[in-house]
Structure 1
Amino acid sequence: MRIFLVFGFWVDAPPGEESMGMHFNVGRGDRGFCIAAMLAVALTGCGNEPQNRAEGRGEAAGPSSHAPSNRRVLPIEAYMLSDDERGLLQRAKASITRTCMKSLGIDYSPPPAKSSPRLNLTDRRYGLVDTAAARDNGYHLPNTQQKFSSAGKNPLTDEQDLALWGGNKHDGKAAEKEPRINGVQVPKGGCMGAAERGLSGGTEIYGEGDLAVEISKESFNRSRSDSRVREAIPKWSLCMKKSGYPYTDPLTSGEDVMGKNEPSRQEKAVAVVDAECNNRTELAEKWFAVECEIQKGLIAKNRKSLDRLRKLKETEIASSRKELSKS
C-alpha cells in the first residue's frame, strides 16, 4: 500500500507500470484515491507556499496530516486545479445539474463527491520528507476517517440517464436526434453537458487540464533520469544503510515492512528514518530544483496552449463562485 502522488492522481498501479497514461512508482496493496494537483501558483519560479491556504471565499481548507508548514510548489501547478478549486467546481456543477434536471421534471440530487486524504502534489513526490507524518502513519496515507460514496448503490433509471447525459454516456450517440422528457428538450450532452458549458461559457471545457498533467508526468520521469538526482539518491541510500535499512530507491523504500491496513511500530520507525535521511541529504530539495528547471522548459514550449488552459480554468472558477453565490 505504498502510494506516492506523482502526477496529480492516486490510482491502482504496480511499480514501474503506467495507469491512465500516467506513470507511478507505488507499492503493493489496495489503492483507489484520486485527487488532483494542488494550489495554483505564479509561473515565475519554484518556491514554497503556506500550508492549507483555502481557495475562494469561506472555503474551509479541511484537515491536514502534519503537512509541512511550507510546501514545495511546482510551476505546472498554476495550470492545475487545487483540491479546493476542484470542490468548488463540483459543487457548482451539481447546482446547475440539479436545476437542469428539475426543468425536465426530474427530482435529482448528485451523489456526494468522494472524499480523499488531503495531500499536496509534492508531499510524497520525492519520497518521505515529513517526519511527523511518518511517525504517525508510517508509509500509509493519513486516516481521514471519511467514508467513500458508492455510485453503484442507486443506479440511474433510463429516464434519469437520458436527462443527465443526453443519452450519450455509454455509446457516444444520442438516443434521439432531439430527445425530450416531459415535453422539454434535453440539452446536448444532457444536464451534465449543460453544466459544463454553463461554467466554461462556451463549448471548450477545462476538464482536468490534460496537457498540464502530461507535463507533470514528463518532468518527473525526466528528473528521475537526471544526473543530479541520480547522484543524490545514493547519499540518501547510504544514510538509510547506516541505520540498517539497505534501500536504494526512495519511492519504494519500506515496502517490506508495510502492513496492509494499519502501520506497525516497525513501519513507523523505518519511515521516520527515511524522512530524516531525505531531509539530511536534501534529496527532495535537490530533486525538486531539478524538476522545476525541467518544467520551466516544458512550459515555455507549450506556453500558448497552457495560457489558454489557465484562462479556461479561471473562467470556470469565476463562474462557479457566481453560481454558488445564488444559493
Structure 2
Amino acid sequence: MLPLLLTGLLAASACQFTGQDDAGDRARRLNTRTSFPLNAYIPDPSSDGGKAFGKAQWILAKRCMVRLGFPGFATLATEAVESTYPVQRGVPESHGPLGDDRPYGVDDPDRAAEDGYRGRPDDGSTQPMEWSADQYLALTGASGSGESRRAHGHLIPDGGCLGQAGRKIHGPAPAPAKIGGLTLTGFYSPAMQLWYTSRRQARKDPAWKKADRDWSACMKEQGFHYPAPEKAAVDTAWFGTEEPSKKEKKTAAADAGCKLDTDYIGTVHALEVRAQKAAISKHRKELADTRAADRRAVERARAIVAKDDKES
C-alpha cells in the first residue's frame, strides 16, 4: 500500500506543479507588448524594416553632423550605432525600475526575488555610444535654446541631426499628443496614444478594479500594503540605487506570486485587449494611414542604405 500511496501523492504534486507552471507560462505570454492588437501598428525596430530605418537614419545623421562642423563623423561606422539612441558622455544613467518592457510588470516570482523591479537587461548587442556634450546636442537637439541651438556657427535642426533624418525618411511627424501629463511625440504617437487611452478606459471596468483588490488582499497577507501592482513597482524606495534591496526583492517576488495566484494578468489583459479592439475599430482609417506611411518609410530607408552601400 505504501508504494501506491506515494505514487498517488507524487502524481498529485506533479499535477499541482504543472498547473503552476502553466499559469506562469500563460501570464508571461500575455505580459508582452506583442500580445496586444495595437502592437501591429507600432513597427518593430528589430525587424528587417526597423533595422533598415535605423541604419538609414544614421547615414543621413552623420552627413548632417559633417555639415555642422564635425568632420570625424564622415568615417563613422553606422553598424556600431544604428540600433541605438545617443548617450551624453559624463551624464550618469538613472537607476531604478524604469524601462521594464513588461506591460504588467514582474510576473516571475523566482526572477523577481533576484532582480526586484529592475527591467530585463538587454543582450549587450545594442549598447549606445557616448558622445560629448556638443555632439549630443547636435545629434538630438536636446536642451538646446538660443545660441546653444548652433554648432560651429551652424543652426542645429529641430530634433538634431537624428530628428531631421527621421523626418526625411518618414515624413513630418504627427502633432504631439498630450497623455497622462506627458507630451507624446514621434511617428508612432497615434497608436501609442490609443494604447494609453484604451488602458485608461479598461481600468474603469469593475472587473479590473476587482483584480486590483484581489491582488492587494493577497499582498496584505504577506505584509505588503499597496492598492495596485503599479504602485508597488514605482515605490520611491526602489529608486536611486544600482542594485535592488532585500525589501525590493521580497516585495517584487510577492507581487509576481500574487499576480499568478489571482490570475491578475489574465484578467486585466482580456479587458485591455477588448478596449484596444474597440479603439482600432473607431480609428481604422487613421491607423491604416499610419501603417501605409511606415511601409513607405521602410522603402525609402532601404533605398538610402542601398545607395550608401553602392557609394562606399
> TM class by shorter-chain length?
0.5 to 0.7
1:216 aligns with 2:195: yes
Larger Rg: 2
Residue 270 (structure 1) shift:
1.8
Which of 230, 235, 244 is matched with 2:209 structurally? 230
Q: State how far apart, in whole Å, the 2-side matches of 1:101 and 1:150 are.
A: 12
1:113 aligns with 2:93: no
Change in Cα spacing, 1:148 to 1:140, as seen in structure 2 (3 Å) is farther
Which of 158, 163, 169 is matched with 1:199 structurally? 169
Change in Cα spacing, 1:229 to 1:137, as seen in structure 2 (3 Å) is same
Taking structure 2 as the reference length, what is the TM-score of the superposition?
0.61
SS of 1:253's partner is: helix
1:135 equivalent in structure 2? 113
Change in Cα spacing, 1:164 to 1:107, as seen in structure 2 (3 Å) is farther
RMSD: 3.8
Higher relative contact order, structure no. (Cα contacts within 8 Å, ≥ 6 residues apart): 2
Which of 288, 311, 317 is matched with 2:269 structurally? 288
Residue 221 (structure 1) shift:
1.1
Alignment of 1:128-207 (within 5 A): 128-142=106-120, 149=130, 152-154=133-135, 156=138, 158=150, 162=154, 164-165=156-157, 169=158, 193=164, 195-196=165-166, 198-200=168-170, 203-205=171-173, 207=186
1:297 equivalent in structure 2? 278
One-letter amino acid matched to 1:98: K
1:34 equivalent in structure 2? none
2:230 equivalent in structure 1? 251
Change in Cα spacing, 1:160 to 1:300, as seen in structure 2 (3 Å) is farther
Q: State how far apart, in whole Å, the 2-side matches of 1:153 and 1:99 are.
A: 16
2:59 equivalent in structure 1? 95
Residue 252 (structure 1) shift:
0.9
Which of 260, 263, 278 is matched with 1:279 structurally? 260
C-alpha contact 2:106 2:256 (8 A) present in aligned 1: yes
C-alpha contact 1:128 1:271 (8 A) present in aligned 2: yes
SS of 2:118's partner is: coil
Share of identical aligned residues, percent?
23
Q: State how far apart, in whole Å, the 1-side matches of 2:269 and 2:117 are.
A: 20
Q: How many residues align?
A: 235
Residue 229 (structure 1) shift:
0.5
Larger helix share, 1 or 2? 2
Residue 290 (structure 1) shift:
0.3
Q: State how far apart, in whole Å, the 1-side matches of 2:240 and 2:64 are.
A: 44
Q: State how far apart, in whole Å, the 1-side matches of 2:302 and 2:192 are.
A: 24
Measured against aligned partners, the alpha-carbon deviations of 1:216-258 in whole angstroms (never above 9, x if no partner) come to 1101111221111011111111211222223221111262753
The gaps in structure 1 that reach 5 residues or longer are 1-66, 171-188
1:269 equivalent in structure 2? 250
Residue 299 (structure 1) shift:
1.1
The gaps in structure 2 that reach 5 residues or longer are 1-26, 88-92, 139-147, 175-185
Q: State how far apart, in whole Å, the 1-side matches of 2:244 and 2:216 are.
A: 22
Q: State how far apart, in whole Å, the 1-side matches of 2:236 and 2:65 are.
A: 51
Measured against aligned partners, the alpha-carbon deviations of 1:181-227 in whole angstroms (never above 9, x if no partner) come to xxxxxxxx98964x345423xx5447432211211110111122111
One-letter amino acid matched to 1:107: P
Taking structure 1 as the reference length, what is the TM-score of the superposition?
0.59
C-alpha contact 1:98 1:108 (8 A) present in aligned 2: no
Change in Cα spacing, 1:269 to 1:147, as seen in structure 2 (3 Å) is farther
1:77 equivalent in structure 2? 39
Q: State how far apart, in whole Å, the 1-side matches of 2:153 and 2:39 are.
A: 34
